[in-house]
Structure 1
Amino acid sequence: MRIIRYLKALSSAQLAAVTDEGKVYELPQQDFITLLKEAEAAGSSPLALVEKLTAGAQPLSQSLEQLELLVPIEAPEVWAAGVTYERSREARNYEATGGRMDASTFYDKVYDAERPELFFKSTAARTVGPGGEVQLRSDSEWQIPEPELALVLDGQGRIVGYTIGNDMSCRDIEGENPLYLPQAKVWKRSCSIGPAIRLTETVEDPYSLQITCRIYRDGNKVVEGSASTGQLKRKLEELTSYLVRDNEIFEGTVLMTGTCIVPPNEFTLADGDRVEIEISGIGTLVNPVVRAS
């Protein structure tokens, strides 16, 4: 079962549930956060509440493909984890050493440390959904998307759903100095999530999900890479346990879990590119790329 938001008549947002057969059912809640709160108040899981609300209901006449999807959750905060995959460690070392792959850096320490790297990524106002434009940063010459499995959390930091995240990143800014990480990661429209939230109870094994990233330029596919969440070094609950430690977690917080797909070192995003990130069982997040405004 997946949860989506789409644009209904009169420019209003509508929450809906999508079955594995592709049937779409409207939900009465205004947003996913309200759904979470109502499920908790009823002593129910989100899945059980959705199944109760859709039992006997008539699905929409439109298919999922005919709907104009919105960001599935207006997350009050989006956080991210770094250097959680071997491929990410390699890429960060390359940036930090100017291409000396044999050099050891602090990224190796992060990869092997007990404490994971966690950083603040975005707010609802900076985050775009499916079809929304992600923006390049004006003072960077080396920018890439970072396709990631993203966790949707309740107010206690429990994982209630999975979605797709694009953690836009400036490799040159981070490589110049690790203390520049906030500038390499956080700017307007530098984060996208969507197109749906897969409820946790409907995912048998979150470590067997296939992630694929494709980048198109002038209609041609210029980058494609695939990986599995099974390559993730840390457990998902390990990441969330550090996020909630001495921290206030808002209902609907999103945590990206790190990237395992990095474009070739000579590649940088350009105005007009299109990024597609697909995760099995969740869907495909598509975002056009625009220059800084």
Structure 2
Amino acid sequence: MSIAIQVIWLVLLASVEIVATQWEHLVRGQVRKLRNLTFTVLNHMAIPVATVALVSYSRPVIGTHWVAEMPVVSGVALTVIALDFAGYWFHRFSHRNLFLWRFHQIHHLDEDFDATTGARVHTVEEVMHQIVLVLIVVALGAPASYFTAFATASFAMAIFHHSNIAIPWSVERVLRSVVFTPALHVPHHNDDIVNTDSNFGFIFPWWDRMFGTYNSVRRTPEWRIGLDYSHDLPLHRLIIQPFIPKQLKETAMPPAKNATYETENAA
């Protein structure tokens, strides 16, 4: 059921993007989107089932029953807030640790910004992230259903705040005080490192405000989306790149201004 909701949400936002586009598309064609969606298919084949099963098995054996004994609304809210807080730090640390960055850069190599960008996460990174979340859920004593609620909400928010949807400022101003919006998250995908190293939150922007990484700068037409040291890569390279001994930054050709992987290879 959770996976069905996530798929429907992705299709819905992708459809809204067609009629309410906020920013000009930077990459032509559908190859990029298919590349991104391949990752979400791979990640959804086994990871959700495995993590829920692990929580269900581990909590009665080594976990507590603290959150499970709370009223449902309070328990779910606490679980979501705790896991989102952990996600903020995992994400932030992924930008600082070279091993984790090997996998996280696959997300940032995307040279455009839309709903499919939110679905593009290397499977190994997703596994590592899920392990951290499972440990926290078990320690809290939260039921597997609470973890599923968080997983569904965080995926939905990741797709939303990566979407290329125009939101009126009157609505945007209210939304961004509670959750991440596309306009608030897009600086994180600018190839300027000052912007890339900001807005690490998944659902709530509170952690960035609390820990000094909040960035409200607005996107301009001159912005390049991606990383300053490499173009996007073909699917097979995206999958194996983290396992190549040399860091991509040491071997890649920096992209020319206003050029993309597809446009250069189509020339």
Question: If the TM-score is normalised by the length of the shorter chain, which range does it land in?
Answer: under 0.3
Higher helix share: 2
Higher strand share: 1
